[in-house]
């Protein structure tokens, strides 16, 4: 399995406890707009709240990790190897065209690209993490 595949599996496989999940509305609205049967979607794929899951995971971790901006800390939080070799391999998987010897630039790109890929694979990622 690819490094990104393992990252995605670890993130999307995490279950939040009921108390951490967003509270559902207590009652349905009394008047709902009429929607023609043909316009009703047959299935809705829920998005994973990436920030909520990672924040929960960070709260359970004894280390202070800056996963919001650091690919190294994000990988550590997800229980992944975060060595330079692993990050270079991940960069290759995700199509990085920059200089892999410039680890600072690569790391910045990797963090943003991993967040973009999480969003592309069914995750809700705040816009601030995609810029």
CB 48 within 8 A of CB 123: yes
Q: 68-125, pLDDT tens digit by residue?
A: 999 999 999 999 999 999 999 999 999 999 999 999 999 999 999 999 999 999 999 9
What global pTM score does this model have?
0.76
Query: Is residue 82 included in any domain, yes or no?
Result: yes
Query: Is residue 56 included in any domain, yes or no?
Result: yes
Range of 52's domain? 3-15+44-123
Joined together, the tokens standing for residue 122 give 């069914």
The count of structural domains within the chain is 1
State the CB neighbour count (10 A cutoff) for residue 103.
16
Q: What span, in angstroms and rounded, lies between the C-alpha atoms of 64 and 42?
A: 43
Query: Is residue 39 included in any domain, yes or no?
Result: no
Q: 3-38, pLDDT tens digit by residue?
A: 999 999 999 886 666 544 443 333 333 344 444 444
Please tell me the predicted confidence (pLDDT) of residue 13: 84
Q: What span, in angstroms and rounded, lies between the C-alpha atoms of 8 and 80?
A: 11
């Amino acid at each position: 399995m690819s490094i990104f595949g393992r990252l995605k599996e670890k993130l999307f496989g995490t279950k939040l406890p009921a108390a951490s999940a967003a509270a559902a509305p207590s009652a349905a609205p009394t008047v709902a707009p009429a929607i023609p049967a043909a316009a009703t979607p047959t299935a809705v794929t829920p998005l994973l709240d990436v920030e909520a899951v990672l924040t929960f995971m960070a709260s359970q971790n004894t280390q202070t990790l800056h996963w919001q901006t650091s690919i190294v800390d994000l990988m550590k939080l997800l229980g992944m190897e975060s060595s330079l070799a692993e990050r270079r391999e991940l960069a290759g998987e995700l199509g990085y065209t920059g200089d892999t010897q410039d680890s600072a630039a690569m790391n910045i790109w990797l963090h943003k690209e991993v967040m973009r890929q999480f969003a592309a694979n069914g995750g809700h990622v705040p816009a601030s993490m995609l810029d």
